[in-house]
Amino acid sequence: MTIFGNLRGLFTSDMAIDLGTANTLIYVKGKGIVLSEPSVVAYHVKDGVKKVLAVGEDAKLMLGRTPGSIEAIRPMREGVIADFDTAEEMIKHFIRKVHKRSTFSKPKIIVCVPHGATPVEKRAIRQSVLSAGARRAGLIAEPIAAAIGAGMPITDPTGNMVVDIGGGTTEVAVLSLGDIVYARSVRVGGDRMDEAIISYLRRQQNLLVGETTAERIKTSIGTARMPDDGRGTSMQVRGRDLLNGVPKEIEVTQAQVAEALAEPVQQICEAVMTALETTPPDLAADIVDRGVMLTGGGSLLGDLDLALREQTGLAISVADEPLNCVALGTGKALEYEKQLRHAIDYDS
């Protein structure tokens, strides 16, 4: 029996993919998360023919630093596919990376999609996964995957609220009995925060910085609330001086970053407030007891839980592994498919 089990393990390679705007994570059945890389593809363009140079980590290093013949792009925008061919190449590359040997059977793949994705966007994701070599492609709503990954008891007849802040979208959802009671997808996330930092520095400091620098500022000293001392910690930032066109280094403080991020943070708070106002009263009572769970990379922004607590008056907690929640939840949906089959959509 063990030998048979091992043999079957060689043939089956079912996986769950968290196809994110910023990062792609792959969960293989029985093994857990085996890959986590940026959703970036670098191309070499010669005579109009594109040839993939690098995918993931290597390609991310090229963002904003490429010569004319090389293009580094992110095929995902706001949680959905913006560049169909590139996304397909990226998925193929990651699947090959996970399965170094050639498998005898095509894997069954479950992918998470934002709740607000249109049928066309869903079809594009499904088609990309099938073209990349999947036997069958299932879709699961991101809020359900995030709640499962955060360990919330979503199959119970009680209200659970999850706020998943990704790179492109923020999903706010109230779940009960294993399905969505209310969900709203706002197109604001980590990318919008980076853009807010870039435009703030351009406006206030006449300094032009790239996406990579803006992301570094956000992850190093980013905060959702004004520091108590009105300044907070600071860091040195390099960019191009817009007045005389030469490279320049300036000091950026936490207070400036909080000011820059005020608008995207406010949009997230408003989405949570709207969800609470629309929730049926009995479920709202459960949420008062249980509080709100934050997942996704955006939830790592400093003091975001406090900013939300001040707005809503509810207990706000951040999941243990916010970056991996959606991938873990999608993986669990794959492992416990029978119990969660109502949440997985296999139809085209």
What is the pLDDT, as a whole number, of residue 101?
A: 54
Encode pLDDT of 131-186 as tens digits. Answer: 877 788 888 888 888 888 888 887 788 888 888 888 888 888 888 887 788 888 88
| Pair type for strands 247-253 and 41-46 | unpaired
- CA distances (Å), origin 112, targets 118, 245, 254, 267: 13, 44, 34, 23
Residue 346's pLDDT is: 74
Confidence of residue 4 (pLDDT cuts 50, 70, 90): very low
Q: Does residue 103 surpass a pLDDT of 70?
A: no
Q: How confident is the model at residue 100 (pLDDT cuts 50, 70, 90)?
A: low
Question: Of the ranges 41-45, 96-100, 126-130, 172-176, which one carries the lowest mean pLDDT score?
Answer: 96-100
pLDDT of residue 3: 46
SS3 of the chain: CHHHHHHHHHHCCCEEEEECCCEEEEEECCCEEEEEEECCEEEEEECCEEEEEEECHHHHCCCCCCCCCEEEECCEECCEECCHHHHHHHHHHHHHHHCCCCCCCCCEEEEEECCCCCHHHHHHHHHHHHHCCCCEEEEEEHHHHHHHHCCCCCCCCCCEEEEEECCCCEEEEEEECCEEEEEEEECCCHHHHHHHHHHHHHHHHCEECCHHHHHHHHHHHCECCCCCCCCCCEEEEEEEECCCCCEEEEEEEHHHHHHHCHHHHHHHHHHHHHHHHHCCHHHHHHHHHHCEEEECHHHHCECHHHHHHHHHCCCEEECCCCCCHHHHHHHHHHHCCCCCHHHEECCC
Pairing between β-strand 136-141 and β-strand 23-28 as defined by DSSP bridges: unpaired
Residues whose CB falls within 8 Å of the CB of residue 133, separated by 6 or more in sequence, listed in order:
92, 95, 106, 107
7-16, 98-107, 314-323, 332-341: range with highest mean pLDDT: 314-323
pLDDT at 290: 83
pLDDT of residue 102: 54
User: Residues with Cβ < 8 Å from 268, sequence gap 6 or more?
Assistant: 163, 165, 170, 186, 188, 298, 304, 308
| pLDDT beyond 60 at 58 | yes
* Residue 276 banded pLDDT, cuts 50, 70, 90: confident
Which residues are known binding-site members?
21-23, 167-169, 215-218, 297-300
Structural domains present in the chain: 15-39+74-144+326-345 (3.30.420.40), 153-188+265-322 (3.30.420.40), 190-261 (3.90.640.10)
Name which of 6-15, 76-85, 159-168, 329-338 the model is least confident about.
6-15
Q: What's the pLDDT score for residue 321?
A: 83
Residues tagged in the binding site annotation for ATP:
21-23, 167-169, 215-218, 297-300
Identify residue 318 by its one-letter amino acid code.
Answer: V
Is 268's pLDDT higher than 50?
A: yes
pLDDT attached to residue 215: 85
On average, the pLDDT of the chain sits at 81
Mean pLDDT of 205-226: 84
* Residue 296 clears pLDDT 60, i.e. is over it: yes
